[in-house]
Every structure is written in structure tokens, then in C-alpha cells.
Amino acid sequence: MSSGSLPRPARFETWRLVSVYLVIFLAFAGLISRLITLQVVESSNWNISAVDNFTNEVSVPAARGIIYDRNGSVLARNLASYNVVITPAGLPDDESDIQRIYRELSELIDIPVGGPVTDETLAEAKLFAACVPGPGIGQLVALQDTLAPYSAVKIKCNVTEEVARIVQERSADWPGVTVEIEPIRDYPTGSLTATLVGFLGPIPASLEDELRARGFIPNRDKIGYAGVEASMQSILTGQNGLRVVQIDVAGQELRNLEPPIDPEPGHNVYLTIDTRLQAAAEASLIKDINFWNTYFDTVRISSGVVIAMNPKTGEILAMVSYPNYENNRFARIIPAYYYQQLSEDSRNPLLNNAISAEFPPGSVFKLSTATGAFNEGIVDADDIVFAPGQLLLCEKFNPNDPCTGTNTRPFVDHILEKKPEGFGPISFFQCIAFSSNVCFYKLGGGFEDEIPQGLGIERLRQYARALGYDQPSGIQLQGEADGLIPSPDWKRINTGENWSTGDTYIASVGQGYVLVTPLQVLMSGAAIANNGKLMQPTIIRDVTDGEGNQVEMWFNPEDFTVTDFQTPGSYQISPFVPNMKWDMTVTPMIEDYSCENGVCSLDEDNLKIVNPETIAAVRAGTRLAVTDPTFGTLYDLFNQFPIAVAGKTGTAEYCDDVARKAERCNFGAWPTHSWTLAYAPFEDPEIIVIAFAYNGGEGASVAGPIVARVIEAYFELKAIDIAQGNTPLGQ
Amino acid sequence: MLRGLSWRNFDFLLLGAVVLASAFGVAVIRSAIAGNEELILYPTRQAYFVIVGLVVIFLLAGIDYKYWLSIHWIIYIVMMGFLISLSGLGQAAFGAQRWFQVGVLFLQPTEFAKIVIILSLARYFEKSQYEPRDLKWLAKSLAWTWGLLIWILLQPNLSNVIVTMVIWFFMVWMNRLELKTLFWMGVSGVLVVIAAFPFLEEYQRQRVFNFLFPDPNASYGAIYNVQQALIAIGSGGLFGKGYGHGTQTQLRFMKVRHTDFIFSAISEEFGMIGSILVILTLGFIVWRCIRTAQKSRDLSGSMIALGVATLLFFQGSANLAMNMNLIPVSGLPLPFFSYGGSGLMSLMVCIGLVESVAMRHKPMDY
């Protein structure tokens, strides 16, 4: 049969063929329309994703500034610490190779391999924070592999340099295992300066957005949590650099996409502290505390403060708050157990008692009363005040309250037990030198016909504020307490009672509602010592940039900002210039007080100065405390001292929660804090020291020796400096 | 055997399109290895396969396809033997036993099994072309298909089962499948899919789920590959980023870019212009095959050409659709472009068979 002659068999029905072509056409049309959607309509969005894929912003950490003391001794610096890390994506493909690496690494760094990776072991490993030993290597890597396989997980932190070197040498055998260098903060002086220098911690969630916007990387960068690390955070931290790099899928950096921005190192900060004097002050305080605690065989003195300052410049030379903490233990992380231990300690080691704790001042506050009484003419240099052992005074809540047996009670002098008849007739200077309570009751609250009108609480408050009380000092440390100098209004608002005459009497001797910080007491003494000029207390002496050039800096205590230009309310901290807060003998700051028809009031529009003679008289009183052999409170301590010292002691009765719990708040036998304030040389003071011992007892015998040893150390160190040709201490 | 044959009837346009596609494939593979040292030999190896494949096309074109049909039983049994032995002897690769090692070459019998099924069905439909289109006729065609397909399903290799079933369907459709039967086939097909879903392997089910309900948070998870492919295609834009300059490809964000996702690599580097050219080339090849089917001297030749056309069309568009996230990831390579010796070689065999049909077409031209 001839194939050519037969009619061609209808191979494909036309409509079926058309249907096939239609299917093919529709399929390709669908694909092309999808292609147009992707490559034309949505192209720019996909392009963003593509750029996002290969673009990586690498933040280059800036070196934190170094903190020095006034002589250039390092108080805070950066050290390298080595972490052994594994990048899961960098490990070999072969499971047996991985296990070999784990085994060998495990031998070197003593972290368990971890056994088989199961859901249970992973769930357990999740509970551990980075760097905390516990999970095995296998578990750590498996977790990281699911999170971010191309970034490294810390296997062991803070290994020795030798281990780090071995790991680096074996990098060819151990692909994926590397050494990460992490800067950690190191404090060579440790707990000695922890109160001032502070410590670093992770960026808290509350600040995360703000700091992230400024280039910080949470969980890597740290910020200051206390001390100068916190207050000077903005200048210590520097500016992180930024590199925008192209990466491949393995995270390997290929090239810079934009010119890199180099990190700017933080500024270095020089403190006014002299580490040697700081050590002497701490040793002196702890020696005293240990002596008395051993003597009484109980923790009698639980905390204490020593501050040394140059009254003419305001430079704090030493500031010790006991107990404190070891800030080197916070270098890497803030260990929970240690932090808990510190925060549960009733003595509150994390608190800087020098500026953040408020105590009743006791007799050191008499400087305010003395200044006020003398300046207001209540007492004169020639006047004699009669000081019996005790005064019977009645408590009046209103001027017309009658004095009866029920509201009359004795106000005693501290000499009463030794000498029931009291100091007898004494001068204004002796009132200060002997620290006679009775004298100051009379000056402050008035007494019958002898002193018809005392200073009164309102005027006392004026003079106390002029000496620096009742307000933060503006020092460059966070957490400063205001203290409290009460007023009748304050009492009505806060206790619901009228101000009573008794309140004035005890406020005159620094008791009752009066609360102060040790730094405020130091400032009041410094204002007197410096002839009425109150200098701004400062702990910053100098700021230099990363290359060591001195830079100008201003500090604003109101909003706690550090700027390289002057802002309203700020004062210059670098280069150091003594900043005077005020000179009360020049600037009128005491409100005039006038009485009409027995109603007395302050006139805030009518201000007056404190007379230089007043300051001179108070100074003379503080000197007499050292020179008067009869009852001079500091006579025993400083009589033999080759340099003329002047000062004031204080024994402040208190009744706080601790004392109340121990049932020690018994009327007439209250527990007492011990205070001593002294400055030298008397004629031209360059050092003033305050010592405070919580529950220390008598000021002169407990806090006094501490002050004496610090002043002694100061002049010895100064002599050493001069002998060695260095800049003498305090200059 | 070549007597009376004229190379004038050899479809040089089809060959040209195949050469163009394969050569372009080699060039893209060279770009797509992106410096990966393990893949450095692949472009050369693929080029060798192209050259060997061209020789195979000419050899097969010279041999009358009827010869293969006459020994189809032997081929069928041998292929079944290969497929069965795969379950025991085949090398376990990627969890599925799809490779057969011959010397240093990994052969994928599945690719060739599809050709054997096409040949067997072509012979069957020719033999039964005057029989009524009843269920018996349909069942016999299914029996020829599933005699080999069952082993592919057991591998498991679901995508090639689907490809084969589509080929079968196109064949029965063009053999005047009755519409009534088609309706019942549709109903039973839906039921089979629903019934089969619980028996799918976990990873297959997962793929379907990932396709239907993508997890927007899974950046490194299951949708990573497709997501990266979409970024590659979309960021390519109209004109592409240039040969060797695709960031998704060169920085290796895209995986399996020389095989399953080679279209994405092309789209990224050559843009929409290049992508459409690829689709048109593929369409052109399919059209030339269907044209050959129409002109064939007998039904078996038509069926071979139609089967090859369906294979290329379906496998090609499935791959493109997968690249553009229109269907779940399936593991079907892009014909002629994707890297893979077995795949390319089996396609060259297909083209050789089609050319064989074309050269012996019905003497219509005088």
C-alpha cells in the first residue's frame, strides 16, 4: 500500500490542538505577566531587599576615655579581654569534624562538649546568659545556629592570653572557632575610688532607643552607672565609628560601600582626687571604725565618710564613703549575686554617703547659728552668755501658750554629766569652742531677758542656706541629696503641727528636723574658712581629648549635661578654674528680718550681706576650739599640731529605723553620730576635712582622730611633693 | 537505513534553539557558581555534556524511531530493572535515591524513564488508534505509564510523577479522550489528591504548607530560597545587573543557583529582556516539537514529538513558576539551561527522537 495515496488520517482534531496551544499560551502569558510584576512593578522594592541583603553596617566601638587622678595616676582604663567564640556557619560540614573540634576545644578551655543536642538540653541551655558556664559547646552552637548562624556565639569568656594564642594558632584545624577581643573596663584602684569613679553596665531598656539613635549598640556598648563614669558619660564615651560594608551570604566583608567613619575616642577625665590622700583617708576611717567595732565587740560604726577639700578652690582631694564596693567585679557583667549582696546590705555600700545620705548634723551645724546670731547682732564679741548645765524651757506652739509643768522640759548641755553647773559665763567664741548647747539654745531661741529675741528658725535658715545647706552642691556626681533646713511652713505641711519654740532650740544645735549631707557640712566649714567665699566643690580637674589636648568643658548641674560651650547655670570644669558659688560678704543674700507689733517676717526684696567681721568671729571661735585648754573640743587632737588647725565637732543624736529597731531610741540617751570638721592652716586654709562616723558616739573622740590623721597625711604628702620637686599637693 | 532520507528535513531551527539555550545555560552556570571552588568545574563539564548531547541528537536523528519502538519491551524491562535496583543500589543523595553511579558519572535513570514511558505510550496509542476510547483503552495506557512510574513514586520523586502524568494526559487528550471521561477523571483526580495528602512525606507536605501559608518571620527557614530568588528576579529589573554582577547570585544569597534557580540568576543578571528571551526560546522549542508532531508520518511519531513537547513545556513552566513563587518548590530543573548531565543528556535524547520524527515526516512536499 502506498502511503502517499491514502487520505491523511486526521492526526489531531483541530480544536484539541487549539486547546493545547491555548494552555501553553496561557501558561507563558501568566509567567510573563508575573515577570513584569516582579521586574517592573515591584522592582524597586525588591532592589531594596537586595541592597539590604548585602549591606551591613558595622559599628566600630570607640575607646572609652581614661580617668586619672590629679597626678595622672590611672583610676579607670580599658583592657583587652579574650573570648573564645564559634561561628556556626564557619564550622566544617562533616559532623565528625565538628565533634573533633568540640572535643579538642573542650580540653583546652574546659567547657563540656555537651553530649547529644536534644530539645531538653537546648531548652536548658537557653536559660543561661552569655558567658555563664553551664551549657555544652554543642548546645551553644546549636542555639546560635538557629538564631544567626553567621554571627559568633561566646563559648568561653575572659580566657587567658595564652589560651587565646593557642586558639588562634589552631584556626586552620578549627574552622569556625575564633578569638574575640572585647574591651573591658579596669579600675586599678578598685574599691578605693569606686565611690567616685563608679562602674559601667549595659544600656538599660529605657534608654535603648535614644542611645541607639546616637550610634550605641545595646548588649555591646556600656554606659556609666555610678560616679564619674555616669556623670561624665557623655564625654567619656566618644562616638562609635561606622563602616557600611558589602557582605556575602556567609557574612564575610568584601568591601566598603561608603567611606568609613572612624570612631572618635572618648575624652579623658582628670579628677581632683589625690589617690595617696584618698588611700590615707580610707585607711584612717577604716582604722577608726575597726578600732571601735573591736573595742565594743559589735558592729557599732556601720558606715562613715571622709572628705578632704581645698576650701579656696573647691577641689575635692579625697572622698571616702565606707562601706563601698569593688567596681572591678562589674568589669565584664554585673554579677547578680554580688549586686544583690550589695543592695541587700543595710549599710548600703552602693550609696555614696558623702553626698547621697542625709544625717542630723548636731553641733557642726552651730556654725550656722553662730554666723546668724553674730551677724544679726544677737550676740557681740564682748558679750558674755551664761551657760548653766541645763535650761528649763517650755514648748510653745503659739506665742501665747502658757508655760506649765507639762510643757516645760530640760534642754541639757553635753557637759552636764561631767560638770552639772555647766560652762558658766562664756564668750561667743567659747560658745563655739566648747560647743555649748545651752549657749546656742539661747542664741537660737532666745532666753528670758538675757536674750529677749533669739535668731529664730526663719533667720537661721537664711544663714544655713548661705553656708550651703538645704540645696544640692552641684558637684559632678549623680544622686546628690538636698538635705533639709526646716521652716514653720514645712512643718505644718509635713507634720500637720505648728512650729514650736522647742523646735527652734534643737534646730539651733543641728538637731530635730535638720538633715544634712557630709558634703554640705564640709561646704559650710569651707565657707567660714575661706572668709565667706563658698567655692563650688568639684571632682573634675581637667578634660583632654583622645590625643591628650586639653579641651574646654562646662558642666551644668541642673540638667547634668557636659558641654564644650557655656550654658546658663553651668560652670567651667576644664581647664580647671576655681568657681565661686558666692561670696556672702559681698553678695547680699540674707533676707532682712523685721518685727512689727510682735509679728516678725522676712523681706525677700531686702537682702543684706554677711559682714566680714561675722565670719572672722566665727573663724576665731573655731580656732579657739583647738587652742583653749579648758574645754576646747579639739584641743587634745590638734594642740600639739605644728600647723594652726581650727574646727568644730559634732555629736548628733539620731533615731532612725535601724536604731528604732534595736530599741535604742531612749529619751535622754539617744544614739549619736560622730562628726568632726577641721581646716588648716588657720590663717590661710588650704585643706578642710570632714569625718563622719555613723553611730560613732562623741565627735571629738571618734571622728576627730580620723580628721587629724588625714590633715597630717596631707601635709606630709605635700612635703614629699616639695622634696621631690613635684607640684605640691593642693596646687 | 538513511536511504531516501534527506537532511533537508532535519529541523535546524529546533537544533539552533536548543544549541542557543544550552550554550547560554553554560554561560550562566559559569556566572552562577560565583567563585565556589567546589563548583569550579561545572561550566566545563556542562559544556562537554552539550557537545556530547549534540552528537547524540545527530545519531538519534539518523536512526528511525520505529527501531526503538520495535524493541520497546526490552528497553522497558531494562529501565524497570534500573529503577527497581535504585531502591537498593542507588546512592542516597539529598534524602532521595535518584542517582545511579556509573563510573564517575551520576546517572539519573528517572530522566530516561520518562523517555521510555513516552516511547511505550507512543507505540501503544498507535497500536490502539482504531479501538474505542473506552475505559479499557484508558486503563491500558495507564498501565504502561505506571509500570515504570510506580518506582519513581516510591523513590519518592513526586514532581517527576506529576510531569509524567501531565505527559500522559496530553497524549490521551490528543488521542480523542472523551469529554465525559475527562470529567470523571477530574473528579477522581481531586479525590486522589485529597486522599494522598496524608501519605506525602513530611518535607513535601511542609513545602505545600510553606507555599500556601508563608511565614513572614522565617528568613532563614524554609522559604529562604524562594524569597532570595524573588529578590534576585525583582532586583534584576528591566535590563538586569549585568553578567557576573548580580549581587544575589555573586554573593551567594541564592542557593542552588546553577540548577533549580538558574532562571533567577538569569533574571537578575539579564533582567526582564533576558528572562523573556528564555521563555520565548523555550516556547519556540515546544512549538517546533508540536509542529513536528503534526507533520509526522504516523501516530507514534506524533506522540513522541507531542510527549517531548509536553515534557519541555510542563517541566520548563513548572520551573519558572517555582522561581517566581507561583507553585511550591519542586526540584524540577529548567530544560537546557540548568546544570545537570543526566537531565541535559535525556533532553538531548528527546530532541534527537523528535528530529528523527521530523526527518521522516509524511511526504507532503513534492
Give how far B265 is from chain A: nearest CA, Å. Answer: 13
CA pair distance B32, B20, nearest whole angstrom: 18
Contact A11 B302 (CB under 8 A): yes
Parallel, antiparallel, or unpaired for β A222-224 and A553-556? unpaired
Query: Cα A463 to the chain's mean position, in Å?
Result: 28
Residue B366 covered by a domain:
no
Contact B170 A20 (CB under 8 A): yes
The reply to whether omega before A112 is within 30° of 0 (cis) is no
Residue B73 covered by a domain:
yes
Band (pLDDT 50/70/90 cuts) for residue B91 is: very low
Look up cell 501531565; give the residue: B166
CA pair distance A624, A632, nearest whole angstrom: 7
**Nine-digit cell string for A723:** 622634696
Q: CA of A148: which chain B residue's CA is closest?
A: B220
Mutate to test the interface with A, among B241, B251, B291, B364 (most CBs of A within 10 A): B251
Q: What is the average per-residue pLDDT within A344-348?
A: 87
User: What's the per-residue H, E or C state across chain B?
Assistant: CCCCCCHHHCCHHHHHHHHHHHHHHHHHHHHHCCCCHHHCCHHHHHHHHHHHHHHHHHHHHHCCHHHHHHCHHHHHHHHHHHHHHHHHCCEEECCEEEEEEECCEEECHHHHHHHHHHHHHHHHHHHCCCCCCCHHHHHHHHHHHHHHHHHHHHCCCHHHHHHHHHHHHHHHHHCCCCHHHHHHHHHHHHHHHHHHHHHCCHHHHHHHHHHHCCCCCCCCCCCHHHHHHHHHHHHHCCCCCCCCCCHHHHCCCCCCCCCCCHHHHHHHHHHHHHHHHHHHHHHHHHHHHHHHHHHCCCHHHHHHHHHHHHHHHHHHHHHHHHHCCCCCCCCCCCCCCCCCHHHHHHHHHHHHHHHHHHHCCCCCCC
Helices B262-295 & B341-359 angle (0-180, nearest 10): 20
Contact B247 A53 (CB under 8 A): yes
Integer CA distances (angstroms), B100 to B25, B51, B80, B112, in order: 24, 22, 13, 12
Q: CA of B316: which chain A residue's CA is closest?
A: A28
Q: CA of B276: which chain A residue's CA is closest?
A: A32
Q: Nearest Cβ partner of A38 from B174, B234, B283?
A: B234
| Confidence check: pLDDT of B222 > 70 | no
CA pair distance B114, B315, nearest whole angstrom: 12
Q: What is the pLDDT of residues A146-157, one digit of tens each?
A: 777 777 888 998
What is the per-residue pLDDT for B216? 54
Arithmetic mean of pLDDT over chain B: 86
Mutate to test the interface with B, among A16, A21, A46, A54 (most CBs of B within 10 A): A46
Contact B235 A248 (CB under 8 A): no
What values do phi and psi take at A178, rounded to 5? -135, 175
In terms of phi and psi (left: phi > 0; alpha: psi -120 to 50; beta: otherwise), the region of A531 is left
Q: What is the average per-residue pLDDT within B221-226?
A: 70
What is the per-residue pLDDT for B303? 95
Q: Nearest Cβ partner of B234 from A4, A31, A43?
A: A43
Give how far A148 is from chain B: nearest CA, Å. Answer: 9
What is the per-residue pLDDT for B215? 56
Band (pLDDT 50/70/90 cuts) for residue A617 is: very high
Contact A46 B293 (CB under 8 A): no
Q: What is the average per-residue pLDDT within A632-640?
A: 92
Q: What is the average per-residue pLDDT within A694-715?
A: 93
What is the per-residue pLDDT for A730? 73
Q: What is the average per-residue pLDDT within B323-336?
A: 88
Band (pLDDT 50/70/90 cuts) for residue A251 is: confident
Positive/negative CA dihedral, B27, B28, B33, B39: negative
Q: What is the pLDDT of residues A258-273, one digit of tens each?
A: 999 999 999 999 999 9
Structural domains of chain B, count: 1
What is the per-residue pLDDT for B95? 45
**Nine-digit cell string for B203:** 518535607
Q: What is the pLDDT of residues A168-199, one digit of tens each?
A: 888 888 888 989 888 889 999 999 999 999 99
Taking the Cβ of residue B271 and every Cβ of chain A, the question of whether any pair is shorter than 8 Å is answered with: yes
Taking the Cβ of residue B115 and every Cβ of chain A, the question of whether any pair is shorter than 8 Å is answered with: no
Taking the Cβ of residue A22 and every Cβ of chain B, the question of whether any pair is shorter than 8 Å is answered with: no
pTM here is: 0.77
User: What's the per-residue H, E or C state across A207-266?
Assistant: HHHHHHHCCCCCCCCEEECCHHHHHCHHHHCCECEEEEEEECCCCCEEEECCCCECCECC
Q: What is the average per-residue pLDDT within B118-136?
A: 92
Give how far B234 is from chain A: nearest CA, Å. Answer: 4
Residues of A in contact with B279 (CB under 8 A): 28, 31-32, 35
Q: Nearest Cβ partner of B238 from A8, A40, A45?
A: A40
Helix (H) or strand (E) holding A282: helix A275-296
| Confidence check: pLDDT of B107 > 80 | no
Coil vs helix vs strand at A133: coil
- B residues 221..260 contacting A (CB < 8 A): 228, 230-238, 247-248, 251-253
Give how far B147 is from chain A: nearest CA, Å. Answer: 26
Taking the Cβ of residue A21 and every Cβ of chain B, the question of whether any pair is shorter than 8 Å is answered with: yes
Q: What is the pLDDT of residues A355-364, one digit of tens each?
A: 999 999 999 9
Residues of B in contact with A149 (CB under 8 A): 220
Q: Nearest Cβ partner of B173 from A8, A16, A250?
A: A16
What is the per-residue pLDDT for A27? 95
Is residue A281 within 8 A of residue A320, CB to CB? The reply is yes
Contact A38 B233 (CB under 8 A): yes
What is the per-residue pLDDT for B224? 79
What is the per-residue pLDDT for B212? 64
Is residue A476 within 8 A of residue A556, CB to CB? The reply is no
Contact A39 B238 (CB under 8 A): yes
Say what percent of chain A tops pLDDT 70.
Answer: 98
| Confidence check: pLDDT of B18 > 50 | yes
Taking the Cβ of residue B216 and every Cβ of chain A, the question of whether any pair is shorter than 8 Å is answered with: no
Band (pLDDT 50/70/90 cuts) for residue B88 is: low
Please name which of A645, A647, A667, A646 lies closest in space to residue A655, comparing C-alpha atoms.
A667
Residues of B in contact with A35 (CB under 8 A): 233, 267, 272, 275-276, 279, 324
Q: What is the average per-residue pLDDT within B281-300?
A: 94
Look up cell 554677711; give the residue: A610
Band (pLDDT 50/70/90 cuts) for residue B100 is: low
CA pair distance B265, B242, nearest whole angstrom: 11
Assigned CATH class of A281-538+576-724: alpha beta
Taking the Cβ of residue B182 and every Cβ of chain A, the question of whether any pair is shorter than 8 Å is answered with: no
Residues of A in contact with B304 (CB under 8 A): none
DSSP state of A362: G
User: What's the per-residue H, E or C state across A684-700?
Assistant: CCCEEEEEEECCCCCHH
Q: CA of A17: which chain B residue's CA is closest?
A: B174
What is the per-residue pLDDT for B96? 46
Q: What is the extent of the structural domain holding B169?
A: 9-359
| Confidence check: pLDDT of A3 > 80 | no
Contact A28 B272 (CB under 8 A): no
Q: What is the pLDDT of residues A406-454, one digit of tens each?
A: 888 888 888 888 888 999 999 999 999 999 999 999 999 988 888 888 8
Q: Nearest Cβ partner of A45 from B234, B253, B363?
A: B234
Is residue B329 within 8 A of residue B225, CB to CB? The reply is yes
CA pair distance A62, A266, nearest whole angstrom: 7
Residues of A in contact with B324 (CB under 8 A): 31, 34-35, 38
Residue B3 covered by a domain:
no
Amino acid at A36: I
Coil vs helix vs strand at A439: helix
What does the domain layout of chain A look like in residue ranges? 81-182, 281-538+576-724
Is residue A467 within 8 A of residue A473, CB to CB? The reply is no
Contact A40 B237 (CB under 8 A): yes
Positive/negative CA dihedral, B44, B46, B48, B50: negative
Lowest model confidence (mean pLDDT) among A250-259, A345-354, A565-574: A250-259
Band (pLDDT 50/70/90 cuts) for residue B219 is: very low
Q: CA of B327: which chain A residue's CA is closest?
A: A31
Is residue A66 within 8 A of residue A268, CB to CB? The reply is yes
**Residue A390: beta bridge partners?**
A412
What is the per-residue pLDDT for A336? 87
Q: CA of B364: which chain A residue's CA is closest?
A: A4
Own/partner pairs for B63-72, CB < 8 Å, 24+ apart? B63/B1, B63/B356, B64/B1, B64/B356, B64/B360, B65/B300, B65/B301, B65/B304, B65/B353, B65/B356, B65/B357, B65/B360, B66/B300, B68/B119, B68/B353, B69/B119, B69/B122, B69/B123, B69/B126, B69/B300, B72/B116, B72/B119, B72/B120, B72/B123
Arithmetic mean of pLDDT over chain A: 90
Please name which of A63, A36, A326, A309 lies closest in space to residue A189, comparing C-alpha atoms.
A326
| Confidence check: pLDDT of A513 > 90 | yes
**Nine-digit cell string for A524:** 559650710
Residue B1 covered by a domain:
no
Coil vs helix vs strand at A534: strand
Number of C-beta neighbours around residue B287 at 10 A: 18
CA pair distance B235, B233, nearest whole angstrom: 6
Coil vs helix vs strand at A196: helix
Residues of A in contact with B317 (CB under 8 A): 27-28, 31
Please name which of B97, B165, B175, B166 lies closest in space to residue B132, comparing C-alpha atoms.
B175
**Nine-digit cell string for A682:** 588657720
Amino acid at A74: V
Contact A249 B232 (CB under 8 A): no
Coil vs helix vs strand at A590: strand
Look up cell 568657681; give the residue: A579
Give how far B67 is from chain A: nearest CA, Å. Answer: 19
In terms of phi and psi (left: phi > 0; alpha: psi -120 to 50; beta: otherwise), the region of B5 is beta
Q: What is the average per-residue pLDDT within B35-58?
A: 91
Contact B231 A42 (CB under 8 A): no
Contact A43 B170 (CB under 8 A): no
Helical segments of A327-412, H only: 336-344, 353-356, 366-375
**Measured torsion, CA atoms of residues B163, B165, B170, B172, in degrees rounded to the nearest 10:** 160
| Confidence check: pLDDT of A213 > 80 | yes
Q: What's the full length of chain B, in residues?
A: 366
Give how far B152 is from chain A: nearest CA, Å. Answer: 26
| Confidence check: pLDDT of A621 > 50 | yes
With b meaning 16 or more CB within 10 Å and e meaning fewer, what string describes A457-472? bbbbbbbbbbbbbbeb
CA pair distance A309, B243, nearest whole angstrom: 74
Angle subtended at Cα A367 by Cα A577 and Cα A431, rounded to the nearest 5 degrees = 145
